[in-house]
Amino acid sequence: MNKAFGNDDAAISDYVARTYVPEDEALAEIRARSTAAGLPDIQVAALDARHLEVLARLAGAGKAVEVGTLGGYSGLAILRGMGEGGTLDTIEIDPRHAEVAAESFRRAGVASRVRQHIGPGAKILPGLAASGPFDLVFIDADKESYPLYLDWAAANLRPGGVVILDNAFLFGHLHEPAQGQRATQIEAMQAVHDALARGGKFRATVLPTGEGLAVGVRV
């Protein structure tokens, strides 16, 4: 019998969390301070942060772009996987969120390796192209713009570079018809999966995390 996709056994989840301890004091502090500052509780899960770090290491990433900084939680995870010389360009539309992230990077001792950009990703990304090609692009922002962000990643990643997309399951709505309140998001996310799977620019898969983490390697 073929094995199922994913694992929703709470006991297994607890074992993995206790064994790998994906959230250390620095990450826990960012999560707590972000909550205290009123940021929405939408940063990546602790194990997903570990996924980001490991994937950055696997990619040998030296230059990365993040679309959606929030409080700096995922950005720090990516930087941990990049080595001392690695640099991160991270984009955040909300200035208040960017302030919290700046403090996160300062406390973690990585501020000198981060270039923060405030504004819509669609406006900022074109200006980053001159600094490419990049080794890794992490997308975790407005879902309607995921196709645009993926197109940018395809054009600005080196061969062998990695794109990672959070919320790949679209909060459980990915498979639904593109209609109703989430119609635009569903259409956009389905288009992204189609591009990753059949567009010819990536060899891709989906890690069955709680929200789904799509991963593509630029061919």
In-domain check, residue 3: no
Residue 206 contacts by C-beta under 8 Å, 6 or more apart in sequence?
168, 193, 212, 213, 214, 215
| Domain range for 119 | 10-218
- Tokens 């062998």: give the residue: 160
In-domain check, residue 2: no
Count of CB atoms situated within 10 Å of the CB of 120: 14
In-domain check, residue 34: yes
- Tokens 């980001």: give the residue: 52
In-domain check, residue 4: no
| CATH number of 15's domain | 3.40.50.150
Q: How many domains does the chain have?
A: 1
Query: Is 54 in contact with 104 (CB distance < 8 Å)?
Result: no
pLDDT digits (tens, 9 = 90+) for 62-115: 999 999 999 999 999 999 999 889 999 999 999 999 999 999 999 999 999 999
Instruction: Enter the tokens of residue 152.
Output: 């940018």
Instruction: Enter the tokens of residue 160.
Output: 């062998």
Q: Distance (Å, rounded) from C-alpha 156 to C-alpha 126?
A: 10
In-domain check, residue 5: no
pLDDT at residue 131 in the model: 97
pLDDT digits (tens, 9 = 90+) for 135-162: 999 999 999 999 999 999 999 999 999 9
Q: E-strand spans in 77-218?
A: 87-92, 114-118, 134-139, 157-165, 202-207, 213-218
